[in-house]
Amino acid sequence: MLKGKVALVTGAGGEIGRASALLFAREGARLIVSDLSLDSAAETARLIQAAGGVAHAVRTDIADRESVAELIRFAIEACGRLDCAFNNAGINLQADSDWDLEAFSKTIEINVQGTMYCMTAEGEWMMKAGGGCIVNNASTFGLVGSSRQPGYAASKHAIVGMTRTAALRWARSGMRVNAVCPGPVETSMTRAAMNHSPEIRARILSASPMNRLAQVTEVAEAALWLCSERASFINGVALPVDGGFTAG
């Protein structure tokens, strides 16, 4: 689905990012994998290379505009082009649940400003080259409210809004911009929270009519499809990957 393409995945050291990078590589893309932790990004690149793919690891702080600009410069220098990007990097702070204002500010800084820096740098180069595709990782809390996390919900609503705005603004420049909106995903963090108490487990599972968590590979598959030519007329969509939670 991405044969001959160059793809960028941010937050590629995390579980969703790593699954996405590995899937993109299996579908034929050359990868630029970035993360705040260079060791984590390098491990993702190593796994891709071990499977016969091509990947370059870069340390990037998405909240630092110059760090993002350097990431895009590296991608072009290393691969000569950039066809698609999955802006997956972001944070979800436990202190946000306590209405902590510092946590709120940090969440906005990284999730909103960081995603905007990535979109702007990627889009600028892609439009010069004739077009491309950007997918942002939002959340179901970008589509509905949260009773617990004001910063996370605000940041993910902002990402959905930025996605739709960029899709409209850049459509005639050969660009497509979409978002995936996962519900609860089975990651180590989610499993730890569920194991903390039966009440937390029940609350998390109640967010899915299918009574299970999304797998990281299911989020990756959605991002892959949106990046591919199979979604060539899909633009400005915030795609729920939530087992039906936002349907009712």
Residue 192 lies in a domain: no
Q: What is the mean pLDDT of residues 167-181?
A: 98
Residue 105 lies in a domain: yes
Rounded-to-integer distance, Cα 104 and Cα 239, Å: 25
Residue 200 lies in a domain: no
What is the per-residue DSSP string for 51-71? Answer: TT--EEEEE--TTSHHHHHHH
Find the CATH number of the domain harbouring 104: 3.40.50.720
Residue 194 lies in a domain: no
User: Could you read off the pLDDT of 43-78 as tens digits, one per residue?
Assistant: 999 999 999 999 999 999 999 999 999 999 999 999
Structure tokens at 131: 């077009």
Edge-to-edge strands of the sheet including 238-241?
55-59, 30-35, 6-9, 84-87, 132-137, 175-182, 238-241
- pTM for the model stands at 0.94
Share of the chain above pLDDT 90, in %: 85
152 is catalytic: yes
Structure tokens at 175: 């660009």
| C-alpha of 90 from chain center | 8
Are 163 and 177 in contact, with CB atoms under 8 Å apart?
yes
Average model confidence (pLDDT) for the chain?
95
Number of domains in the chain: 1
Annotated catalytic residue, options 24, 86, 104, 152:
152
Residue 195 lies in a domain: no
Q: Band of the pLDDT at 89, cuts 50, 70, 90?
A: very high
Strand pairing report for 175-182 and 55-59: unpaired
Residue 207 lies in a domain: no
Q: Which domain holds residue 167?
A: 6-185+215-239
| Least reliable range by pLDDT among 45-59, 65-79, 114-128, 195-209 | 195-209
